[in-house]
Amino acid sequence: MVNSLQNRSYLNRRHRLSHQQIDRFLHENRSKEFLHEKLKQLEIIKSFLQITDILKQKGIYFINLKGPLLSYRIYHDPTVRILHDIDILIDKKQIERVMNILFENGYNLSEGAFWPHKKNQQELFINNIHHLSFFNKGNNLCVEVHWVLMHELSISKGKLEEFISVNTEEIEFAGRKFNVFTKEFELLYLLIHGSRHKWHRLKWLFDIKDYPLAEVNYKTFNTLVNLLNAERIINQANYLLKKFFNTQLPFTYNARLPKYIVSYSMRIINSEISKKRSNYDIINNFRYQWLIFPGIYYKYKMLLQIPFSPRDIPLFDSSYKTMYYMYRPFSFIKRRILHA
């Protein structure tokens, strides 16, 4: 682990750290040797501005998630964070409109993504998936369109939408106005997002380490943390920040931190990313997700997801979710045991 985290190529490839970030991490000054990376980021930002301009012209309201605007807010430079895609959050009523706009502008569904043809299946999809991914071969840009910020939180979707509506603000970038989260809500979103993904890329911990905390209202942030029951996630982040950067956030919480969510995230950070997950990986991941939030409501929502897989929607035609519950054991055996 130590040797890998001292390797510039590894940090750039595996953890998607830019050479500017790696310079700060390794106490070096070599980023000027990699100007091609900076030029690539500028091309992505150009494509980002083009597609977001089109969405605005078509009257689509969206909130920008992460991407160049996060880099701009943290570093006052939109190219410091490596960009591989852009993420926007829209109203679910606008999904098909946004899809058609993207199709008209050279984007197609990314490999592995699908959109059901039948209305009843579309409803199942929308209620159980939180985003669709689109890719443009011409500019190599991926756009992830979210209609739910995150599934399986410790609050209802309605409550989450309410939080979002009162925690959004407008900023200016490149002579344009964009909707983004308030800094308090954005910081919490970044913490939850990183934890949900087991912090498997150090770039997400960099976001937390370098976030402009002086501009965060701690009282508001603490209120949001309590409302979303995210105390464990903050304590986990503090452990990892201390481990990798010898720093911590200026707040901690009196919440039990299960050892497993620390040990498992450390294991993931220190290993290569595999596209294929074994049954053992699935069990470990479920255990991890089970522990990051406390509370019966959160556990209940997790349990509801076990008997249903959205990937079964295009394989089995039904208007009723209960039929997919019945189909799920068969699809699991077929996919995981028979490898069919």
The span from the CA of 248 to the CA of 251, in Å, is: 8
**pLDDT digits 0-9 by tens, 324-340:** 667 666 666 666 655 55
pLDDT at 89 over 60: yes
In the chain, the domains with their CATH numbers are 1-148 (3.30.460)
Rounded-to-integer distance, Cα 253 and Cα 134, Å: 39
Q: Give CA 140 to chain center in angstroms.
A: 19
Instruction: Give the pLDDT confidence score for residue 335 in this predicted structure.
Output: 61
Q: Name the token pair of 209.
A: 């380490």
Would you state the structure tokens that stand for residue 62, as one six-digit string? 């969206």
Mean pLDDT (the chain) is 91
State phi, psi for 221 to the nearest 5 degrees: -60, -45
What confidence score (pLDDT) does residue 337 get? 58
pLDDT of residue 17: 97
The Cα 340–Cα 333 span in angstroms is 9
* Mean pLDDT computed over 87-111: 97
Residue 2 banded pLDDT, cuts 50, 70, 90: low
Reported as type and span, the H/E element at residue 87 is strand 85-89
Q: Tens digit of pLDDT for each residue in 299-322?
A: 998 888 776 677 777 777 766 667
Q: What is the CA radius of gyration of the chain?
A: 20
User: Averaged over 56-61, what is the pLDDT?
Assistant: 98
Q: Give the containing element (helix H, strand E) for 38.
A: helix 35-57
Q: What is the pLDDT of residue 96?
A: 96
Distance between CA atoms of 119 and 121, rounded to whole angstroms?
5
CA distance 51 to 135: 12
pLDDT (mean) for 138-145: 94
Residue-wise pLDDT for 284-295, tens only, equals: 999 999 999 999
Q: Say yes or no to pLDDT of 156 above 80.
A: yes
